[in-house]
Amino acid sequence: MAVAATLTAGTAIAAFAAGGDDAAGQSIACPKPEIGVAVPAQAQAEVTRELANLDKQIAEASNRLRTSAGEGGPNFVQNAILGPLKDKRVAALNRIETAIGRVAAKPEGLERFAPCGLGKAPAVGAAPTTSRQASGNNSGNNNAGNNAGNGSSASGKTIECPVPVLQNVPAKAQAEVDRELQNLNKQQAEANERLRTSAGQGGPNFVQNAILGPLTGKRSSALDRIAIAIGRVGEKPQGLERFATCSLK
């Protein structure tokens, strides 16, 4: 038995004055995901849980927007709030695709609903064609297909991240900077463990959507905290976000 075909999570949630002049008095707005296929009853519980996660993510980002008045520079909202929010939404939307794809036609391209904006949700592109995944007694073949899609790009590889270049870190900021550098190492290690244990999950974009994307968001936040810590007592470094993106090697 199939149930509602339209996902209903994702709304504009009001926030108040936040870091940067562009964010003052604005709200975080996210597009409402729509999948265009019936959600099977077997997948409904997991889909509902991920829809709740999407709403929770928006609420958390809105609270961050409200409580971060005056923090960071002109790119603070994008780097520390909207960017990480997009990555979290990509992961949740990918899990929705996977849940449905286990028992029915898997919806493709839900990640197009991931980006959010201030005041107005970004425009969403057209949906790609859905793909059929095997289910039931053919689950073994389904896993083989997933292994082919995921393994072709990730098998035997590891995640490597650029080492941030920091100069003249003030002594008063050193402890906080060291703590965030340790966070960067921990994030990379966790992502590599996720890569190792997720063989066969998702489709060809699984690694990017569920591992590398969220890792970039986490690293952006840590690098932004490093810049803020240094900027409190010295000259704030610019452009540390260039060290956020990691890749498979």
* DSSP code per residue over 142-169: HHHHHHHHHHHHHTT--EE-PPP-----
The pLDDT score that the predictor gives to residue 34 is: 86
Please indicate, yes or no, if residue 159 is contained in any of the structural domains. yes
Contacts 24+ apart (CB under 8 A), 131-137: 131/101, 131/105, 131/106, 131/203, 132/105, 132/106, 133/101, 133/102, 133/104, 133/105, 133/106, 135/102, 135/103, 135/104, 136/103
Which of the 8 DSSP states describes residue 208? I
Which of 133, 161, 176 is at the close of a domain?
A: 133
pTM of the model: 0.49
The 10s digit of each residue's pLDDT in 9-29 is 444 443 333 334 455 567 899
Contact 205, 146 (CB under 8 A): no
Q: What is the largest CA-CA distance in the chain?
A: 63
Domain that holds residue 34: 1-133
Report CA-CA distances (Å) from 165 to 50, 172, 228: 37, 18, 15
Count: domains in the chain:
2
Assign 126 a pLDDT band (cuts: 50, 70, 90): confident
| Angle, alpha carbons 184-207-159 (nearest 5°) | 40
Do 91 and 204 reside in the same domain of the chain?
no
Do 56 and 112 reside in the same domain of the chain?
yes
